[in-house]
Chain A
Amino acid sequence: EAGVVQSPRYKIIEKKQPVAFWCNPISGHNTLYWYLQNLGQGPELLIRYENEEAVDDSQLPKDRFSAERLKGVDSTLKIQPAELGDSAVYLCASSRFGQGTDTQYFGPGTRLTVL
């Protein structure tokens, strides 16, 4: 079974530029998560989707971050414009149902460097 796929793996941009990350969850997983991981810290949830619906986006900085999951499968996370403090690893995870303690499986992440 293929795992969670993310691209690109690495991205370097200058501040104020836009950037987008793509995630393809495990087949059959209805719930998709985006996490942010700063250096030396554990991942922090940005947004959770159940199918196409964003059911928890309370930690997503909506002034510059946006996300979509149009057909309930792949998802894109966008930052516009990027700031120096956005340099981090952006992780995507998926789970079958997203309820209770359903196990989440993570992708390899996208490492963003903003210069």
Chain B
Amino acid sequence: DAKTTQPTSMDCAEGRAANLPCNHSTISGNEYVYWYRQIHSQGPQYIIHGLKNNETNEMASLIITEDRKSSTLILPHATLRDTAVYYCIVRDDKIIFGKGTRLHILP
């Protein structure tokens, strides 16, 4: 079973920051937090991952709480092309996908 809890769906206005939450209260010390997204009819796309520290790349920022029990993926300026299902995953080896959050970007 997936070790994360995410909202089923979220809306965000185009141009605004999209903040996607994820709870992973049972995360263990050697497990990373990974985020993937899946645009319709495509395979999952890697976004970002982290262990303890906040991370940023060209796609997004990942904010992990100090106790590591939750995290937030931030898309700083959402566009219509960011409409997708976003998966939060905790892993030390296998990837186990949950159902993710369906993000709708509204024009």
- Given A91-B44, A107-B43, verify A44-B97 contact (CB < 8 Å): yes
Q: Which of A42, A56, A108 contacts B99 (CB 8 A)?
A: A42
Q: How many residues of A contact B (CB 8 A)?
A: 21
- Cβ distance A87 to chain B, nearest Cβ, rounded Å: 15
**Chain A residue with the shortest CB-CB distance to B32:** A101
In the complex the two chains form, is A104's CB within 8 Å of B43's CB? no
Enumerate chain A residues within 8 angstroms of B42, measured Cβ to Cβ. Answer: 108-109
Q: Which of B93, B94, B98 contacts A42 (CB 8 A)?
A: B98
For residues 29 through 61 of chain B, which have their beta carbon under 8 Å from a beta carbon of chain A?
A: 32, 34, 36, 41-46, 49
Enumerate chain A residues within 8 angstroms of B98, measured Cβ to Cβ. Answer: 42
- Given A101-B49, A103-B49, verify A108-B43 contact (CB < 8 Å): yes
Describe A's contact surface by its main secondary structure.
loop
In the complex the two chains form, is A41's CB within 8 Å of B93's CB? no
Describe B's contact surface by its main secondary structure.
loop
The answer for the CA separation of A111 and B29 in the assembled complex, in Å, is 37
In the complex the two chains form, is B45's CB within 8 Å of A40's CB? no
Enumerate chain B residues within 8 angstroms of A40, measured Cβ to Cβ. Answer: 99
In the complex the two chains form, is A91's CB within 8 Å of B99's CB? no
In the complex the two chains form, is A103's CB within 8 Å of B46's CB? yes
Q: Is A45 an interface residue (CB 8 A)?
A: yes
- Cβ distance B7 to chain A, nearest Cβ, rounded Å: 15
* Interface residues in chain B, defined as those with a beta carbon under 8 Å from any beta carbon in chain A: 2, 32, 34, 36, 41-46, 49, 87, 91-100
User: What are 5 inter-chain pairs, A to B, with CB distance below 8 A?
Assistant: A101-B32, A101-B91, A101-B92, A103-B49, A106-B43
